[in-house]
Homo-oligomer: A and B are copies of this chain.
Amino acid sequence: MLTNTRRIPIEWGDCDPMGIVFYPRYFTWFDACTAALFASAGLPKHQMLKTYDIIALPLVTTSAKFIIPSKFGEEITIETTISEFRRSSFDVRHRVFKGDQLALEASETRVWTGKDPEDPTRFKGLPIPQEVIARFTAGDRETAAK
C-alpha cells in the first residue's frame, strides 16, 4: 500500500501550558496527512472532489493512542497509509514518530460521500471507484505505469 510521510515541526502555537502538543492538533495534522496521501496518489483533494463529484471524506470513527508527548521545538514525522478499502468506506492509519520512536498511533474510518442520487439535499456514502483504489496499490500502480 502507498504510504505518505510528512515532517511536522512543533510550533509554539501547537503547545499547551504544559509545553506539549495540545492533542486536538494531531487530528488537524491527520486530516491534512490523509489529504496528502491522496495527493501523493495523484488525487489532490480539491480536484478529486470535482472529478468524482463527491463532497468530502467525512469520518465515522477515529481512535488514537498517545505514547510519547512532543514538545515545542521538536519535529515529528507522520506516516499515513490506507489499511483497507471497502465498498464506500476506508480505513486510514497514521503513525507518528519522534526520531525512530513511535510516539502516537491513530486510525480513522472515512466515507466516500456525495449527494444522494435520490435526494440531492442529502449526503450519502457512494461506491469508491476502482481506479481510485488502484492508485494506492503498488501492483496496480506498476501496471498503470506500463
Contacts and interface: CB of A to CB of B under 8 A. Distances in A.
Interface of A: 9, 11-13, 15-20, 22-25, 27-28, 31-32, 35, 44-47, 55-56, 58-66, 69, 71-73
26 contacts: A9-B32, A12-B16, A12-B17, A12-B56, A13-B24, A13-B32, A16-B16, A16-B56, A17-B17, A17-B19, A17-B72, A18-B56, A22-B28, A22-B31, A23-B27, A23-B31, A24-B24, A27-B27, A44-B73, A45-B72, A46-B71, A59-B64, A61-B63, A61-B64, A61-B65, A63-B63
- Stoichiometry, as copies per complex, reads 4
A12 B110 CA distance: 15
Contacts of A15: 16-17
Contacts of A59: 23, 64, 66
A22 B88 CA distance: 21
Given A12-B32, A24-B31, A32-B13, A69 B63 contact: no
